Structure formats: C-alpha cells, structure tokens
Structure 1
Amino acid sequence: MHLDHPVTAPQRHTYGAEPFHADGSRRALRVGLGGPVGSGKTATVAALCRALRTQLSIAVVTNDIYTREDAAFLRREAVLPPERITAVETGACPHTAIRDDISANLEAVEQLEESLPALDLILVESGGDNLTATFSRGLVDTQIFVIDVSSGDDIPRKGGPGITTADLLIVNKTDLAPYVGADLNTMATDAHKQRGDLPVVFTSLTAPDGIGQVAAWITGRLTAWQAGATS
C-alpha cells in the first residue's frame, strides 16, 4: 500500500508495536492525537513541534480523508523541515486508518524512521473523528485525545473510548469558555468521573506557553520510553 492512497480491507490490530529496531536500539516514541473535527489537533501538533524541536528529533504523520491539508498547513507554518512531515489519505472514516487497517500509517512511520535516523518522537495525527476514535497499539505507544470547550461543556460527560481511555485528555480553547457558556469546573468534574486517575490538561494555545503542560507530559513519557518502560 502506498502513502496517500485510500485504506481498504479493514482488519483490527490490537497488538503492541515492537519497541526496538533490528539493531536492538529503541525506536522513536509514537504518540497518537485524535479528537473531533475542529478541536485543535493540528494546532496542538504545531505547538508541540515548536516547543520541542530544539531538544528532540521529531517527525509527523497526518491523516485526512481525501486531502493532505493538515500536512500542508504544518509545512506552511514551518514547524519542522518539510521532509519530517508526511500525509496519509484514509479514504474513509479516520479511525479505519488508525485502529482497523493501520498499514498506510505504519508505512508512513517506517519510511520516516528509515529516512531520519535517530528520531526521538513521531506524532501521528488522526483526521477529525468522533468520541469512539482510538488508535491501535500496533501503531502508537501512547494516545492523546483533544476536545474543545466550544463543542459544549457536556462533552466529557458523554464519554466514549476517546475520552475515557486516552492516556491524556486535552480540553482545548479554554479562552472561549466565557463566550460559549462553557463551565470549566463542570468539564473538569465530569472528565475526572469518566477517567479516574488518567490525566486531563485544560489549555488555550493562544496563551503564552499554552502547550507547556502537554509538552512536559510528552517529554515525561519519552523519558520513560527511552528507559525501557512500556506502560
């Protein structure tokens, strides 16, 4: 299967990806970012690249249904050199390419690892999907789910696998809360009820260092990954 071609013949993958290269070295940490349309996934990826690119070797894979718009945006913004950003066209609901038939995304990830030795981090951004969207553990090692306050403060309460099981939940665009009638305390309470001890970050990417908590969480996961921890 070639990059930018539609994904076909769905097949669920639930196994974990091999954490080592053929030479025995530990490969890059793969972080999946999912969430509904307009929640701020691409903006989050861009902000993470800007925050971490001077200290880490990073690459990005974006997913869109019929275009490569998100990858084009990241290249226009020059968040990374263009050869570090690639795109997959899913041709169907985005979750098919991040959870069911992950072959196109695996090909993209593996090509980046071959062309860019010594990568530390690969960010795999899903196209906009619903609250059930999750990544196969055969594709990514850890998952982030992004929602935003403008979609309603009842979103955490609605639950769904993306909200309840992601390793990190981001509640984005908190600066808009007063304008859309969203109660951040309610969202925090409901998120805690749905997620238990799993972390939640409230952020506004328009604020100075608005990505700071997310970047710190990722660097913490990367440190554990490079030390050999798998959970």
Structure 2
Amino acid sequence: MHLDHAHDAPPALSADAHLPDGRRRALRLGLGGPVGSGKTATVAALCRTLRAELSLAVVTNDIYTREDATFLLKEGVLPPERITAVETGACPHTAIRDDISANLEAVEELEAATGPLDVILVESGGDNLTATFSRGLVDAQIFVIDVAGGDDIPRKGGPGVTTADLLVVNKTDLAPYVGSDLDRMAKDAAHARGELPVILQSLRAPEGVGPVAGWVRAQHRAWRARG
C-alpha cells in the first residue's frame, strides 16, 4: 500500500553527478533503518525485480563482518562482481554520513570495474532513527522500519523517518501478531512526513517489493532526464 504523495519527485543532483569521461554516473540510492527492519531483504527483492531492466550494483555496510553482502551473494541476486562490502568498524552512521570515504571509494570502484551502471544501492548497517546519508554519498535515500519495532515509530520521528526521500513500513504481514495498528502507522507517518512518500510493504504479499521498485524506476527516469 502506498500513501498518495508526490513520489515521483526527482532526486537532488549531487555536486559530482558525472564520471570523469563526462557520462552521467549511476544513481546512488541509500537504504537505512534499524537492525532487523528488513533492509537486506528489501535490497535482495529489488535486485530480483529490477535486474532485467536496470544495471545494478550493491554496497553493504556492517561494523565488523560482511554478513549482508554474503547473504546477497548466497541468494545470487546479482553477479558477485556487482556486490561489495564495507566494514565500518564503528557506528554505521559514521560511514554513511560523517566519513563517507570508504563508501565513496566502493561505489566508484564498482562503477569503474563493472562498466556503465544505472543504480547503485548503498545499504547502511542497522542504526537508529537519526541515521541519514550524506548527500555527498547518495542522491536519494530510503528509510526502512518494521511493524515489529512498534507502531509508535512514525510518531517518534527522527531524521530517518521524517526526511528520507521514501519511508518503507516493512513486514506488514506481522501486524496482527505483534499488535501493531497499520492504519495508525500510516496516518502518523503521513503527518510526520508531509508530502514525502510512504509505502507499507510485506515482501510475502503478492505485490511484494513492487511499489518500492516502482519508486526506484521513477527516481532513475528522473535522474536520466536531468542529464
């Protein structure tokens, strides 16, 4: 289910929007959110859905391991050379907002090694509601929360919830089992975010990641059109 907002708004252009040869570089989309909210599962589903039409690559972030990248590799969602990992060694927000050098190097190396790419997904390690990406690293950001974390999360706000270009309320199929009120979550999210879009998602439902994939397609179209 998606709330009716202007979800096709184009991403903001970064200062460095082109490759050294003058071609438009890949659109960089960040995915952040708390531990266990379903970021990696969403990335995997997006790759399966979009890989036939868009040239994709993924950078994952973990503190001391490469667990998320290993999961994506085992699932075979993309060729191995299109998936890489950053071990942050500190709180995840450090590498996506404060010192983005390791992630920038990873996305630039992926694009150089694998040829022209359409979209690079940069997945943060699990963090809290304040986690946001530097606009020097990504062009737009998705924040993923889940119903098991409590239906008061949209009401609590925080920069991740209120300012991300897209908010995904994940695992809606669990709502009856954890006592979460989806209608209340949707209303609270709409109130907190104004015109920014919200998608309620269950990867187990027939539509699965479809609405989020549609948002990614719209962002990519807008990115190419602004070339």
Range class of TM-score, shorter chain:
over 0.9
CA apart distance, 1:24: 1.5
In the alignment, the residues of structure 2 paired with residue 82 and residue 117 of structure 1 have an alpha-carbon distance, to the nearest angstrom, of 14
The counterpart of 1:45, out of the listed 43, 46, 56, is 43
Structure 1 partner of 2:139: 141
Structure 1 residues 23-172: aligned runs within 5 Å: 23-172=21-170
In the alignment, the residues of structure 2 paired with residue 179 and residue 163 of structure 1 have an alpha-carbon distance, to the nearest angstrom, of 23
Amino acid at match of 2:63: I
**Counterpart check, 1:195 vs 2:193:** yes
Aligned-partner SS, 2:211: helix
Amino acid at match of 2:165: D
Asked if the contact 1:17–1:141 (Cα under 8 Å) also holds between the matched residues in 2, the reply is no
Aligned-partner SS, 1:169: strand
Asked if the contact 1:37–1:127 (Cα under 8 Å) also holds between the matched residues in 2, the reply is yes
Deviates more, 1:49-58 or 1:19-28: 19-28
Amino acid at match of 2:95: A
Give the direction of change, closer, same or farther, for the CA distance of 1:40–1:17 in structure 2 (3 Å limit). farther
Q: Identity over aligned residues, as a percent?
A: 75
Higher relative contact order (CA 8 A, sep 6+): 2
CA apart distance, 1:209: 2.9
CA apart distance, 1:183: 0.3
Amino acid at match of 1:97: A
Structure 1 partner of 2:4: none
In the alignment, the residues of structure 2 paired with residue 151 and residue 157 of structure 1 have an alpha-carbon distance, to the nearest angstrom, of 12
In the alignment, the residues of structure 2 paired with residue 223 and residue 16 of structure 1 have an alpha-carbon distance, to the nearest angstrom, of 16
Write out per-residue CA displacement over residues 178-209 of structure 1, whole angstroms, 9 at most, x where no aligned residue: 00000001001110111001000000001123
In the alignment, the residues of structure 2 paired with residue 110 and residue 196 of structure 1 have an alpha-carbon distance, to the nearest angstrom, of 34
In the alignment, the residues of structure 2 paired with residue 127 and residue 56 of structure 1 have an alpha-carbon distance, to the nearest angstrom, of 24
Give the direction of change, closer, same or farther, for the CA distance of 1:221–1:122 in structure 2 (3 Å limit). same
Aligned length: 215
In the alignment, the residues of structure 1 paired with residue 23 and residue 225 of structure 2 have an alpha-carbon distance, to the nearest angstrom, of 12
**Counterpart check, 1:220 vs 2:218:** yes
Write out per-residue CA displacement over residues 111-145 of structure 1, whole angstroms, 9 at most, x where no aligned residue: 00100111000000000000000000000000000
Amino acid at match of 1:27: R
CA apart distance, 1:17: 4.2
Amino acid at match of 2:198: V
Amino acid at match of 1:67: T
Structure 1 residues 167-178: aligned runs within 5 Å: 167-178=165-176
Amino acid at match of 2:194: G
Q: TM-score normalized by structure 2? A: 0.93
Asked if the contact 1:17–1:140 (Cα under 8 Å) also holds between the matched residues in 2, the reply is no
Write out per-residue CA displacement over residues 75-108 of structure 1, whole angstroms, 9 at most, x where no aligned residue: 0000001110000000010000000000000000
Write out per-residue CA displacement over residues 138-183 of structure 1, whole angstroms, 9 at most, x where no aligned residue: 0000000000000100000000000000000000000000000000
